[in-house]
Amino acid sequence: MNEKLNDMKKIVFAAFCTVFALSTAVISCEEKVKLHGARLSPKEIIIPEDAPPQKLYLYLYPRNTTEPGVHWETSSDAVIAVSQDGTVSPVSPGTAYAMVYQGERALDSCKVTVNPVYHVESVDLDRNTVKMGLNSSRTLTVTITPENATYTGIEWTSTDNTVVTVNGGGMITAVGLGTSTVTATSVDGSHTDRCVVTVVGAPVNLLVNPGFEEPVELEAPFTTLLHQIGWTQITIGWVREFYESGNEKSGPKGIGPGSQTSVTNSIRASRHNGAVLSAANSVYFVTLGGLQGDCAARIGTAGGNQLGGFYQIVTVEPGETYTFGAIIGMRGNAAAQVIKDYEALKLLSPDGGEVYCEVIINPDIPEPGDVYERFNNQMAFIRNVKGIYTVPDGITQIRFQFDSRPFNGTLGQIPVTFVDGCFFEMYLEE
C-alpha cells in the first residue's frame, strides 16, 4: 500500500515538473520576440492652434513583440504637447516633432506644424439685390475677410424656399413668384450678408409698337410715317449739334461742314415678308432671316446721301437695370462693296443732349449670330443688337433711339438700314 502511494506521488510530481518545464519554455520563447522597429502615421500634420487633440497611430514590428517599452517625447513643448498614448495637442504656433522612443533609441517621428488662427471678420456678397425670371438660376459669390481666414465655411439659407432655393455653393434658383432673402453666414463668428431676391414673370417691353406693325398698310406705296405709330423722328438740328465737326462722338463716319446732311423725308415702315433690303419702293427678297412680323422701319432711299433716326421716351426706375436692343439689317453699298458702319443704338437724356449708353454697330467686327448675304451685287447684314444699362439715381426718363448717319460715298450709292424688334425691358438674371 505504501509502495503504491509512493508511486502515485512520483507520477504527480513528474507531471508537475513537465508542466512547469513547458510553461518556462513558453515564457522563454516569448521573451525572445524583440522589437525591431516602429512606424508612425501620419508622418506630418498641419493644424490650427485651436484644433482638438490629434491621435497618432504607432505600428510596431514585429506585431507580436513582447517588449515594446516605448515612450513619447516632443521636440518643443512650447509648440505641442504629446501624451504617452500618442495624442498631440497644439500649444502655440510653430513647428515641432512628436517622437517615439524605445529607451534611448529613436524609432520614428511626426512633423507637426501649428498655424495661427485667423478668424473671419466679415462676409460680403457680390449682389445685395437680384431680380430673376421664374425657373432661372445664378450663383452668388461671397468674399471672406481676411483672405487668409482659417475657417471659410459658409452656410446658406433662404427665408422662403417656395420662392428661392439656395444650395451649399450659393447657387440660387427661382422656383416661385415673390421675394425671398438669401443669407450667407460664416461658420466662424456667424458673420452674415444678405441678398434680396425678387422673382418675376416674363419682362414687359416698355416700347410702344416696337416692331412697327400697327397700324401699317401692307401694300405699296407704304406711306405710313413712324410718328403715326408711336415713334418720333430725329431732327436735322439734333444731327448737326450731336455730330458736329470734330465731335469725338462722331466717330469715323461723322459729318462736318460741306457734307450733305438731310434727314430722310419719310422714315417709312416697309413690308418685307422676310426681305430686309429695299431700293426706293422696290423690295429685294433675300434669304436673310431674323426680322419679325410684316414690317420694319427703313432708313434711306436711293435718292441721295441721307441719314435718319427715331426715338421713344420711356419711364424708368432709378437703380433698376434694363436690357435694350433691336434687330438691325443693312444693305451694303453696291459700288464700294462695303456695309455702312458706325450705326448706333443709344440711350440718351429726354432732350437728346446726353448719351447715357451707346451700342455701336460695326459689321467689320463680327459677333456671334451675325448673318451675311449677297444679292444682286448688294451686300446684306443682320445683327441682333443688345445692351444692358443700370439707371443712376435721379433719372426717371430715357430716350431710346436709333440713328443712321450718311454714308461717306458717292450719291446714289446709299446703303439702306432696316430696324425691327426693338425692346427696352427690365433686365432679369440669366
pLDDT surpasses 60 at 278: no
Mean pLDDT of 45-52: 94
At 102, which CATH number?
2.60.40.1080
b/e per residue 329-358 (b: at least 16 CB within 10 A): bbbbbbeeebbbbbbbbbbbeeebeeeebe
Q: What pLDDT was estimated at residue 6? A: 56
* Count of structural domains within the chain: 3
At 235, which CATH number?
2.60.120.260
Domain with 404 in it: 226-426
Strand residue runs (E) in 164-316? 164-166, 171-174, 178-186, 192-200, 232-233, 269-271, 277-279, 282-284, 295-299, 308-315
Grid coordinates given for 34: 524583440
Kindly state whether residues 266 and 173 are assigned to the same domain: no
Indicate whether 317 belongs to any domain: yes
239 vs 199, higher pLDDT: 199
Kindly state whether residues 252 and 367 are assigned to the same domain: yes
CA distance 422 to 409: 29
Kindly state whether residues 63 and 156 are assigned to the same domain: no
pLDDT surpasses 70 at 37: yes
CA torsion sign, 204 to 216 to 303 to 412?
A: positive
Q: What pLDDT was estimated at residue 201? A: 85
- What type of residue is 119? H
pLDDT surpasses 70 at 331: no
Kindly state whether residues 285 and 363 are assigned to the same domain: yes
In tens, the pLDDT along 3-13 reads 555 555 555 45
Q: What pLDDT was estimated at residue 203? A: 84
Grid coordinates given for 337: 462693296
Kindly state whether residues 103 and 142 are assigned to the same domain: no
pLDDT surpasses 60 at 305: no
% of the chain with per-residue pLDDT over 70: 68
CA 246 from centre of chain: 40
Indicate whether 374 belongs to any domain: yes
Indicate whether 398 belongs to any domain: yes
Asked which of 193-197, 214-218, 248-252, 298-302 is least confident by mean pLDDT, the reply is 248-252
Indicate whether 7 belongs to any domain: no
pLDDT surpasses 60 at 136: yes
Indicate whether 355 belongs to any domain: yes
CA 154 from centre of chain: 19
Mean pLDDT of 370-381: 68
Q: Are strands 355-361 and 416-426 parallel, antiparallel or unpaired?
A: unpaired
In tens, the pLDDT along 85-118 reads 999 999 999 999 999 998 888 999 999 999 999 9
CA distance 23 to 21: 6
Kindly state whether residues 325 and 346 are assigned to the same domain: yes
- The confidence band for 199, taking pLDDT boundaries of 50, 70 and 90, is very high
Q: Of 61, 84, 115, at which residue does a domain stop?
A: 115
Q: Of 200, 216, 239, at which residue does a domain stop?
A: 200
Indicate whether 404 belongs to any domain: yes
Kindly state whether residues 305 and 167 are assigned to the same domain: no
Contact between 418 and 276 (Cβ < 8 Å): yes
Mean pLDDT of 49-69: 86
Indicate whether 16 belongs to any domain: no
Q: Of 200, 217, 240, at which residue does a domain stop?
A: 200
- What type of residue is 113? T
Kindly state whether residues 400 and 263 are assigned to the same domain: yes
Strand, helix or coil at 240? helix
Mean pLDDT of 252-265: 42
Kindly state whether residues 381 and 264 are assigned to the same domain: yes
Indicate whether 90 belongs to any domain: yes
Kindly state whether residues 59 and 149 are assigned to the same domain: no
In tens, the pLDDT along 157-185 reads 999 999 999 999 999 999 999 999 999 99
Q: Are strands 269-271 and 371-375 parallel, antiparallel or unpaired?
A: unpaired
3-state helix, strand, coil split of the chain in percent (to 5) is 10, 45, 45
Provide the β-strand partners of residue 417: 299, 330
pTM: 0.59
339 vs 409, higher pLDDT: 339
Kindly state whether residues 138 and 268 are assigned to the same domain: no
Q: What pLDDT was estimated at residue 428? A: 80
Kindly state whether residues 299 and 336 are assigned to the same domain: yes
pLDDT surpasses 60 at 227: yes
Q: What pLDDT was estimated at residue 91? A: 96
